[in-house]
Amino acid sequence: MGSHQFSSQAVQYDNHYTNTKYCLCQMLREQLESPQGRLLHAAQSSQEICDAFGLGAFYEETTQKMDARRAELLAKTAEKVGEPIEDTSGVIKMAVKFDRRAYPPQITPKMCLLEWCRREKLAQPVYETVQGPLDCMFCSVVTVAEQKYQSTLWDKSKKLAEQTAAIVCLRSQGLPEGRLGEESLSLYKRKREALDQDSGGPRTQEPALPKELCKKPFVTLGSGEKRTLEGW
């Protein structure tokens, strides 16, 4: 397999650019000092790798098709989610998944759920995660106020599975989960208020004293010599 073919397949399968770059560097070896090899070595994205091999147009076309397909699948998934369902074991389930791109960088469903539990003076959420024996996929169940919540869709990692379980709980309760565009993204505001309360309110800078008040007092001796008072 040539480098061009490998690059195109890496784009089609949405391979991470760092792995693609490593494999291509191993394939080129002696050619890394060539102009094309130097472009590959400096690449910091899949698009830059494709540009180095003259596949820029292919990358644009392929990613557009993949984005359109992803949006279509997400729309279909949203239609199928529907209302949460409680099974015979008492676990509330929904067919949802956690998409990191739908949330701000420092906000996650787990954070929102933990904050809500603290505000309602409930025990912290407890997550129980299991791994599939064959496909290495993960499924997590979160317990809040003695009620269990779980997604019917499995995830690629334990962290993702826990975020998904938190989403099921939040949506079942009609609570905000921190998604982009939601009105209630007040985590930062409450954190700032909590910090102000812990420190006794916002700190204010004390006014500087005039230079005359900062001078040390002195006494005049019988000989006319001036000395400062001790302890100042």
Q: What is the mean pLDDT of the chain?
A: 79
Return the number of other C-beta atoms located less than 10 Å from residue 10's C-beta. 20
**Are residue 87 and residue 176 in the same domain, yes or no?**
yes
pLDDT of residue 166: 96
105-132 confidence digits (pLDDT tens): 889 999 999 999 999 999 999 999 999 8
Read off the CATH number of the domain in which 121 is found: 3.30.160.20
If you average pLDDT over residues 12-30, what whole number do you get?
86
Counting the structural domains of the chain, the total is: 2
Domain that holds residue 129: 82-187
Picking from 2-6, 172-176, 181-185, 186-190, which range would have the lowest pLDDT averaged per residue? 186-190
**Are residue 32 and residue 104 in the same domain, yes or no?**
no
**Are residue 87 and residue 70 in the same domain, yes or no?**
no
68-104 confidence digits (pLDDT tens): 877 776 655 544 555 666 767 889 999 999 998 889 8
CB contact set of 97 (below 8 Å; sequence gap of 6+): 77, 151, 153, 155, 160, 164
Last residue of one domain, picked from the residues 28, 50, 75: 75
pLDDT above 50 for 206: no
pTM beyond 0.85, yes or no: no
pLDDT of residue 220: 54
Query: How much of the chain, in percent, has pLDDT values that exceed 70?
Result: 71
Please check whether residue 175 lies inside any domain of the structure.
yes
**Are residue 153 and residue 125 in the same domain, yes or no?**
yes
Which position has the higher pLDDT, 145 or 26?
145
The three-state DSSP-derived secondary structure of the chain is CCHHHHHHHHHHCCCCHHHHHHHHHHHHHHHHHCHHHHHHHHCCCHHHHHHHCCCHHHHHHHHHHHHHHHHHHHHHHHHHHCCCEECCCCEEEECCCCCHHHCCCCCCHHHHHHHHHHHCCCCCCEEEEEECCCCCCEEEEEEECCEEEEECCCECCHHHHHHHHHHHHHHHCCCCCCCCCCCCCCHHHHHHHHHHHHCCCCCCCCCCCCHHHHCCCEEECCCCCEEECCCC
pLDDT above 90 for 36: no
**Are residue 59 and residue 104 in the same domain, yes or no?**
no
